[in-house]
Chains A and B, each alone.
Chain A
């Protein structure tokens, strides 16, 4: 297989030909760490030895610390702020309020959805813990002391936290400062063909409806947000080290907000301890730290506490959805409808391409060939933190997938058809791609039935169905539920014709420089928060240039050195910057051919590159060959007159279309009829993300996303009381799954390459978070569907599950089985001691 051809459409397993050389242990990218090889991560060493460099690890001479004074009220007018007692403390350098920021025109900042958010509250607090003032002090502890001494007088107003209540006539008006804003309604949005959909429903044999809430979540990376801002008055330059998933976009926004010209702003995103969409928006803390550094001419550090992170930075989801499906009596879906009430919080600060107020929610026809679809959505202000970020998700695709995958299960139960079978009857057939959905998306490729079949086989589906039946017949204490989700994702935002962030098209970039000694540096416009770019992007170059992966360094996250890119979120790094890396490497390869021709004294058109050996040779004379290392030397020491010296290339890649990874997940749960507790018996995930760069890293991503899906389905919820107090705003109350709640996962894959991506890859990081919650809910519902249960809201806490069991007449009376011993409390069976 010696050719120049690039693999785009043919699935590849990347088997290594036996060339007698050393065989890689597990997989092969020609033995050089190229595509498909399980290369251990190049970035690991600094993390396992305590040498990572996260924002809070940065210490600069003369650095000050910033602590933010936050409102205890959810809705209140600020009458007076008195910072004098704070200023009296030794070590407090400044107390900043909105008035101070107004002097520098920094009192407000734009959100990604063109709303305007107070950096520090100007007149009115709109959600609990909103930023009211900032104390800058010599050290962290003094800054906190100072914050406690700032006296703020509030006129407390009635808050409204529920989206439906916020739309009622007598609801308090949250945003009276906006022109023409007379209520809490933000926008209406709709998609699809309403008339055709109504018609499909009118003619259908059967229709089903279900209301479901995708609760408010928080991405909650283990590292919170933070920044170290450093204004250099000697060079009029602002450097901000910050927890940023999108350093270049943040540079442009920083420049726009501050008025500092963009070439005098440097954003550095050092090691970032998880992002998951939380670190895409700009938050007031970053701006305050920069403003303080500018005013005080000293570096200023701001680091969030966990409660600040959950209570004020971008939440996710919070969609109250009503889904409807129209189908034939055989279960062929003819139409789908959805209506959503979206709680956006106090500002419209969702993080998504600006032409998409509801993100990519209109992908809600999912993996199914549905002719008629219509969706409508209303966005609402409430006295809650602003957000609507894409938490490990491509802009509301998570909500869309949840809706359709839940509704398919509701339909299956209504018709008494097996949930696997009903999916099969409705899948977009594998020969129908490229496929245009009823809501206008152009799916690149897919083979949904293949992934489902593989998952069913791995899960031993039929025998679990039998076991389920047996338990029902025997009236067992623990019921079995089997849940399926056959999701389709939409990632890789995105084509400039459709997608932008604050007006900037969502291309991405790569700059590849090969050094005279034959190693290379790849700089990319995306930024890693754990995804392993330093390894996978090097693998792409290794594959495309025949270099050893160890000879390639990937740099990212510094706007002074990296080419402009839109950052890492929405599973866009591989689909967009990965493509740019491949194209840049191919450009280098093209130039390398002319250097090879010069070195080998042959005509350039006679030079061929062999993917297997990674060498360039003269056509028909494989012995006359040259390696990329030798070519690199030639590029600098003996360059042909026809070419410039040097060996480098840059590519800005504007993807022609989105990519559409997919998969099938099967979850088997045991539901305890006494306690409502849910145990995972089996968790199978079959993913198809096109051609695979590093299977080990893909699997790691799948595991992590599935754990987040379990957190979503079982534990996590940012809750508020009626007064707007956040009652689920720290790790004592916002429950992340621990190792004890997460089962072992069985992963599998199919390979259906993207036809329009240079290496046929699609992106994978979000599939598990998107695809797994409906599989888990479907499983729990499935355990009770024989008794008429159609839905359980997330998070499916034991009390919620028990309520469903009880309403369906399935709950067991705990008093039958539990004995009380008053010394040791409640126990089952004989006492321990």
Chain B
């Protein structure tokens, strides 16, 4: 009907090239063209956050963006969580937290919540309750009353912190990185880095403001 555009997305680490109409929403491209149905649709107006994914590390509502606008970007969805280094052999600490702390009931908002939780912890590894509530305030949940979701994210923060400590080297002892691990390989103490190096601005745009943020705490 209308012209198709070729776009390339790196979804959960795998490069995918698809043809889409310019008006096609990113969420439909993810769900229907890439068959990753973990990301949901709940409101069409950007209010509910069920469609939240990470685009270049930033949480976005994928029903509010055309797929073509995301051309060339890195997209992370719930399906990618188990492949993250922090997940080890099993579940990512955030997923584990939602399970252990009963942070979900019907499960429909859960993938979006996980993405918002991930974006928060990437930026602020030790958030307080108000910061967590604020970070998920763009994600509506009709089942849980949010209290257990907050606990789930707190659980994950703690677990990630323990992992970082156990990894050694990640909790940097020099003043430069201020104990911060951006998670990017071979940057400031990411899990795979053998020698922690200072964080490089621009290594991954999602971490640009992080060092500043962690200093203000």
Chain A interface (Cβ within 8 Å of chain B)? 40-41, 43-54, 56-57, 59, 89-91, 140-142, 145, 220-224, 271-274, 276, 305-307, 529-532, 696-697, 699-708, 730-732, 736, 738-740, 742, 744-745
Contact = CB atoms under 8 A, between A and B. Distances in A.
Interface stretch (B34-42, B166-174, B176-184, B199-207): B34-42
Interface stretch (B143-151, B187-195, B208-216): B143-151
5 closest A-B pairs by CB: A50-B38, A47-B107, A273-B108, A530-B106, A703-B145
A44 B94 CA distance: 13
A694 B135 CA distance: 30
28 contacts: A46-B107, A49-B81, A50-B36, A50-B38, A140-B28, A142-B1, A222-B48, A222-B142, A271-B106, A273-B106, A274-B106, A274-B143, A305-B44, A530-B106, A696-B102, A697-B102, A702-B145, A703-B147, A704-B142, A704-B144, A705-B145, A731-B43, A736-B140, A738-B136, A738-B146, A739-B137, A739-B146, A740-B137
A530 B148 CA distance: 14
A54 B142 contact: no
A59 B40 CA distance: 15
Interface residues of B, number: 59
Which applies to chain A's interface (DSSP): helix, strand, loop or mixed? loop
B40 A49 contact: no
B99 A706 contact: no
Residue of A47, A57, A699 with highest tally of chain B CB at under 10 A:
A47
Contacts of A273: 40, 42, 106-109
Contacts of A532: 105
Given A703-B148, A708-B142, A48 B95 contact: yes
A530 B79 contact: no
B24 interface: yes
B142 A276 contact: yes
Contacts of A52: 38, 107-108
Contact of A91 (B1, B107, B114, B149): B1
A90 B1 contact: yes
Given A306-B43, A700-B143, 5 more contacts: A44-B98, A222-B141, A307-B44, A706-B145, A742-B146
B60 to A, nearest CB: 17
B54 interface: no
B45 to A, nearest CB: 5
Nearest to B79: A50
Given A40-B99, A40-B100, A54-B40, A739 B149 contact: yes
A704 B106 CA distance: 11
B173 to A, nearest CB: 34
Contacts of A305: 44
A744 B40 CA distance: 27
B71 interface: no
Contacts of B37: 50, 53-54, 56-57
B106 A222 contact: yes
Given A224-B42, A739-B136, A740-B133, A745 B77 contact: no
- In this complex, the member of A46, A307, A738 whose beta carbon has the largest number of chain B beta carbons within 10 angstroms is A738
A223 B42 contact: yes
Contacts of B147: 703, 742, 744-745
B43 A730 contact: yes
Contacts of A271: 106-107
Given A48-B98, A272-B106, A703-B147, A222 B42 contact: yes
B21 A141 contact: yes
A272 B107 CA distance: 9
Contacts of A57: 31, 37
Contact of A44 (B24, B47, B99): B99
Contacts of A529: 106
B43 A50 contact: no
Nearest to A709: B145
Nearest to B36: A50
Contact of B38 (A51, A59, A272, A530): A51
A697 to B, nearest CB: 7
B39 A50 contact: yes
A745 B28 contact: no
Nearest to B28: A140
A48 B145 contact: no
Nearest to A276: B142
Interface of B: 1, 21, 23-24, 28, 31-32, 35-45, 47-48, 50, 77-79, 81-82, 91, 95, 98-100, 102, 104-111, 114, 132-134, 136-150
A306 B108 CA distance: 14
Contacts of A707: 144-146
A707 B36 CA distance: 31
A274 B142 contact: yes
A700 B144 contact: yes
B216 to A, nearest CB: 15
B110 A48 contact: yes
Given A48-B114, A731-B140, A739-B137, A704 B47 contact: no
A37 to B, nearest CB: 13
A389 B41 CA distance: 24
A273 B140 CA distance: 12
A50 B77 contact: yes
Contacts of A738: 136-140, 146
A274 B107 CA distance: 8
Given A57-B37, A140-B28, A48 B99 contact: yes
Contact of A736 (B38, B100, B110, B142): B142
A700 B35 CA distance: 31
Nearest to A711: B142
A807 B90 CA distance: 60
Contacts of B42: 222-224, 273, 306
Contacts of B136: 738-739
A49 B38 contact: yes
A274 B108 contact: yes
Given A90-B1, A273-B107, A49 B48 contact: no
A529 B143 CA distance: 10
B91 A222 contact: no
B97 to A, nearest CB: 9
A40 B101 CA distance: 8
B45 A48 contact: no
A740 B32 CA distance: 33
Contacts of A708: 142
A745 B147 CA distance: 8
A829 B77 CA distance: 44
B38 A704 contact: no
A740 B102 CA distance: 19
A80 to B, nearest CB: 27
B72 to A, nearest CB: 23
Contacts of B149: 739
B38 A221 contact: no
B108 A54 contact: yes
Contacts of B47: 730-732
Contacts of B106: 221-223, 271-274, 529-530
B40 A730 contact: no
A745 B145 contact: yes
Most buried by A among B36, B82, B106: B106
A222 B32 CA distance: 20
Given A222-B140, A706-B145, A742-B145, A41 B95 contact: no
Contacts of A224: 42
Contacts of A46: 107
Q: Which of B41, B82, B139, B150 has the most CB of A within 10 A?
A: B41
Q: Kindly name the residue among B100, B139, B144, B149 whose own CB sees the greatest number of chain A CB atoms within 10 A.
A: B144
A53 B35 CA distance: 12
A93 to B, nearest CB: 14
A49 B39 CA distance: 10
Contacts of B23: 141
Contact of B1 (A44, A48, A89): A89
A320 B139 CA distance: 33
A273 B39 CA distance: 13
Contacts of A731: 43, 45, 47-48, 140
